[in-house]
Amino acid sequence: MSTVLANPAEMIAKGAPRVIHNDEELEQYTEALFRLTALESPSESELDAIDLLTMLIDRYEREHFPIPAADPASVVRFLIESQGLTQRDLIPQFGTESAVSMFLAGRRKLTVGQIQKLVVRFGLSANVFLAAEKAA
């Protein structure tokens, strides 16, 4: 490995992946990543390339397209709206329609059981529903 790292500047000059600087490079790296992940049996070096491209793409996207943190009630409101649901549709997760209303109005926090049920229903990480609880 020491011979590979003997001259990293030369390695980059020859076309090794480097830090992404603009959206055009992001598009090129993303296309390359899609090609690699479509391989049926990638080699060890192809798996390493997948890891490296994923890290570079993730870094660029986090810096240039940050996702603002949202409180759990806003997340649930968004899910209700985007999926054409009503508060009644969430009774299985909350127990009662008034519990849904109280949560959405900010008068009640989520219980562990409600979070578990929301995770299952929407297929999201529990962290999505814990964000505001941690910040408070």
In words, the CATH class of domain 72-135 is mainly alpha
Q: How far is residue 49's CA from residue 105's CA, in Å, rounded to a whole number? A: 47
Q: pLDDT digit of tens for each residue in the chain (136 aa)? A: 445 566 666 766 777 788 999 999 999 999 999 999 999 999 988 898 899 999 999 999 989 987 777 899 999 999 999 999 999 999 999 999 999 999 999 999 999 999 999 999 998 888 888 864 444 4
pLDDT at 15: 77
Please tell me the predicted confidence (pLDDT) of residue 65.
83
CA dist 107 → 31, 46, 56, 73, 98 (Å): 46, 51, 42, 10, 11
Q: How many alpha carbons fall within 13 Å on the CB side of residue 69?
A: 9
Where does CATH 1.10.260.40 sit in the chain? 72-135
How far apart, in whole angstroms, are the C-alpha atoms of residue 21 and residue 33?
17
Q: What's residue 131's pLDDT?
A: 62
